[in-house]
Amino acid sequence: MTKACIVGWAHTPFGKLEEPDVESLIARVSGEALAHAGVSHDQVDGIYVGVMNNGFSKQGFEATQVALAQPELAHVPATHVENACATGSAALYTALDFIESGRGHVALVVGAEKMTAKSVAETSDILLSASYRKEEGEIAGGFAGVFGRIAQNYFQRYGDRSEELARIAAKNHRNGVSNPYAQMRRDFGFEFCNTVSDKNPYVAAPLRRTDCSLISDGAAALVVADEETAETLQRAIAFRARVHANDFLPLSRRDPIAFEGARRAWAKARESAGISMDDLDFVETHDCFTVAELIEYEAMGLAGQGEGYRVVRDGIAEKDGKLPINASGGLKSKGHPIGATGISMHVMACLQLMQEAQEMQIEGAKLGGVFNMGGAAVANYVSILERTR
C-alpha cells in the first residue's frame, strides 16, 4: 500500500493575533506550506481544512476559504473536518487516507481557529460542545469545569497531586520560553504554579489558572505526499504508525480518569510500530489541562494507573529527562487554537526530527510520538513519526 509522508509545513505564532478571522489565518499558512514543501499549486490533489468553529464565527464552509488566498486551488476538491480538540489530527489523517488510497499524490492540510474575538463566557460555552451537554452542560466553569471534575475524581482515588500538576505546568512554561511560536513565553517557576493567589486563582478547583491551556488564535499547515512524490522533494517525515481510537462521549458511560481510548491508541501504535516507549526520543502530548498530561503518562504506559506522579518526581518528562514530553511548551504554553492544535503538534515533531527545532531541539531525536485528543479523551490520535528524507 502507498504510504504518505509529511513534506512541508507552516505555522503562525499562537496568541491574540491581528488577523480578524479564520479566513485570514488560513491565508497566512496555506501558501507558505506549499512553498516550504516545494510543491506547485497544480500538484495539489486535495485540500483538508480543520476548524472546530461551532460558534466562534457565523461563517462556516471553511474548506472553501483556502482558494480565496490561493485562487489556483479553486477547483481542487476541498473538505472541512471537525473532531473537537482533535480537529487538526482528524484533518491530517483524512488527508493521509486520501493519499494512501491512491486517489491523489499531494494534499494540503490546514488547521485554524480564531478564539479571542469572543468573550471568555462565550468561549467557555462553545468549548462545552466537546462534552456531552445533556449531562455535563451545566458544569460550572465550562470545559475547565469538566477537567476540574476529572481532577477531583483522580485525587479522590489516588491522592492529591496538586504539586505534580504544578510541576507539569512549570515544565511546560519553562520549555515554552524557547518556542518562537508560543503564546506564553514565560517561565513562571514551580512555586508560582503551586500557589493559589490573585494572579493564579482556582479556575475549576483543584485546577488553577496555570493548570489550564490558553484561549488562542492561530493556524498551522502541512503538506503530505505519497512516497514516490516525496522522493523528489527536500524532506519526508514518515508515519511508523498512526492510530485513531474513540471512547464514549458521556463521562457517565466510562471511567473518566482511565483515558481508556488513549490507552488503546497508544498500545496499538506501539504494536504497529514495533516499539516500546523506551524507543521514543520525545513526545508531544495534549496538555489542555495539566491533569490531562498526568493521566496521559499512564495511558502511554510510562506508569501504572494512579502512578503518573512517579513520571513527574523522577524527572522523566523533563527536556533533559529519559523521555522529554512537550519540549515545545505544549498547549499549556504554546496555546490551543482548537483546529490548529493537532497540526501544530505534528509540526513541532517534524522540526525535532529534521533537527530544526533550534532552542527546543532534543539532541539526536530520531523517533517521536504525538498524542492529540478531542474532548475528555474521546477521540484519540497517536502518531509515531520518523524522518526518511
Q: Which amino acids are annotated catalytic?
A: 85, 336
Residues 6+ positions from 199 with CB-CB distance below 8 Å: 192, 209
Burial of 9 (0-12, 13-18, 19+ CB in 10 A): buried
* Cα 381 to Cα 158: distance, rounded to the nearest angstrom: 26
By residue count, the chain amounts to 389
Nearest alpha carbon to residue 11 among 183, 220, 184, 217: 220
Please identify which residue in the block is written with the cell numbers 455535563: 136
**Phi, psi at residue 46, to the nearest 5°?**
-160, 150
Q: All 3 cell numbers of residue 4? A: 504518505
Q: Degrees (nearest 5) of the Cα angle 223, 225, 227?
A: 145
Contacts of 113 (CB under 8 A, 6+ apart): 22, 25, 51, 52, 53, 56, 216, 217, 218, 219, 337, 338, 339, 340
At 380 the three-state DSSP class reads strand
Cα dist. 299→83, 157, 200, 265, 324 in Å?
21, 17, 28, 9, 16
Q: Which candidate, 277, 246, 205, places its Cα nearest to that of 377? A: 246
Q: How far apart are CA 132 and CA 238, in angstroms?
A: 35
User: What's the CA gap between 97 and 80, in Å, rounded?
Assistant: 15
Within 8 A by CB and 6+ apart from 128, the residues are 136, 137, 139, 142, 143, 146
Phi–psi pair at 371, nearest 5 degrees: -125, 120
CB 225 within 8 A of CB 106: yes
Give the HSE-up count for residue 230: Cα atoms under 13 Å, Cβ half-sphere: 21
Which DSSP string corresponds to 66-91? HHHH-GGGTTS-EEEE-BTBTHHHHH
